[in-house]
Structure 1
Amino acid sequence: MNIEKINEKYCLHDCVINKIGIKDSALILYADKGIYEFDVNIGTHKIRENCDILIKIDNLNEKESYEHISIYLFKKNVRKDISFKKFCEMIKKDNFKIYLDFYSSFAQGLLLKGYCNKYEIELLITEVNDIQFIFTK
């Protein structure tokens, strides 16, 4: 799905990411509790459970993920860059709870803002080629 069409059909606001990883040049966000999908029949969003979000980026690999993925942790108004590996460890301990999702068709990127434990997190992903939403149930 093209990045500019995402918010017409899906919304990650108030969704929980319980696992994250990189496989086959894709960043994968696992949302077992689901994401919001727009239902044209009722004209509103409804939760759809067990979603894997595949964010495809050319030549993405975990070792050089910093080229396309920036993660900022905020603690007492101080911003700190953290590694992808550290963010994965944080999510294993305490899920990433998203409260805002922004999409840029010009930059082909998305910004997810949320909380992991007591820390505010900004996850910025750039040079996105495609996004797929796979519902496993």
Structure 2
Amino acid sequence: MSKNPLPACPCGGLSYAACCEPIHQGMPARSAEALMRSRYSAYVLKLEDYLFATWHPDTRPAALDIADDDSKWLGLEVKRHEESADTATVEFVARYKIAGRAHRLHEISRFVRENGRWFYVDGVFPQ
């Protein structure tokens, strides 16, 4: 049963229970895009432990501090998704507001699959 009964998933998918919640609870993401969407939802829901656990250990920061982040996430658009057996890239645009001012994050993220699980590696920010 859902501990966080959201009607719709923050990533723009189905209901939260049918979309990102199972991944947040430990089910492996079926693709790098699914992991990226679940990470976006985790930022919205401030699931810091999940973000840390899905960040590849080689590039993961020592700590994350999103609990006091006052960003209001407004939406996610996946632009492109390319995947091979164990590597992938996902290009996306996330819209958010801070103190009432609109921003957008455009990133091309890299992912790697190890032992059947996808991990976020890093990203670049195109102009």
TM range (shorter): 0.3 to 0.5
> TM (normalized to structure 2)?
0.37
> TM (normalized to structure 1)?
0.35
Q: Which structure would you say has the larger RCO, counting Cα contacts within 8 Å and 6 or more residues apart?
A: 1
Give the number of the structure whose residues are more often strand, by fraction. 1
